């Protein structure tokens, strides 16, 4: 299987409005106890315009993409049972907050093999913006076992 054919593949643009309820739920799930992540008044006291988006929450918003999130893997002939999450990286440019409308532009930027082809790697890069201004660049690597 030649994963290199996936390099340059783009995904439909994904737009999402950051909701306070989802931020509060995420804070609860990860055990975040700082009030600025759940209470609007505490966020304002900390100098934020609304509840701040915790760093890894952008990955959750990316995964909220409508439609078949893994259809591209099936299109490439990859059996989902052979896929593992390999790595996630976030490069931040600005903070995001509840009420923001974020735009996610995603494409496959790299593909390579290791262990004589027994492991394939696909690198997906997502550029996140708010009103044209960069918020973050997300990089996700999945491992395909053969």
| Residues of the chain predicted below pLDDT 70 | 1
Domain covering 3-145, topology: Thiol Ester Dehydrase; Chain A (3.10.129)
For position 85, what pLDDT does the model report?
93
Which strands, in side-by-side order, build the sheet including 133-145? Answer: 14-17, 101-114, 119-130, 133-145, 83-92
Element (H, E) at 4: none
For position 69, what pLDDT does the model report?
77
pTM of the model: 0.90
Give which of 13, 3, 38, 41 is closest to 107, Cα–Cα.
13
């Amino acid at each position: 299987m030649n994963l290199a054919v996936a390099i340059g593949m783009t995904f439909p643009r994904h737009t999402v409005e950051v909701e306070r309820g989802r931020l509060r739920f995420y804070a609860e799930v990860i055990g975040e106890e700082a009030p600025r992540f759940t209470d609007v008044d505490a966020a304002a006291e900390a100098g934020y315009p609304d509840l701040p988006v915790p760093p890894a929450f952008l990955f959750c918003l990316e995964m909220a993409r409508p439609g078949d999130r893994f259809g591209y893997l099936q299109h490439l002939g990859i059996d989902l049972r052979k896929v593992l999450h390999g790595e996630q990286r976030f490069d931040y440019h600005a903070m995001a907050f509840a009420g923001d409308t974020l735009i996610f532009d995603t494409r496959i930027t790299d593909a390579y093999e290791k262990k004589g082809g027994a492991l394939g790697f696909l690198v997906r890069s997502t550029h996140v913006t708010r009103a044209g201004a960069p918020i973050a660049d997300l990089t996700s690597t999945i491992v395909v076992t053969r």
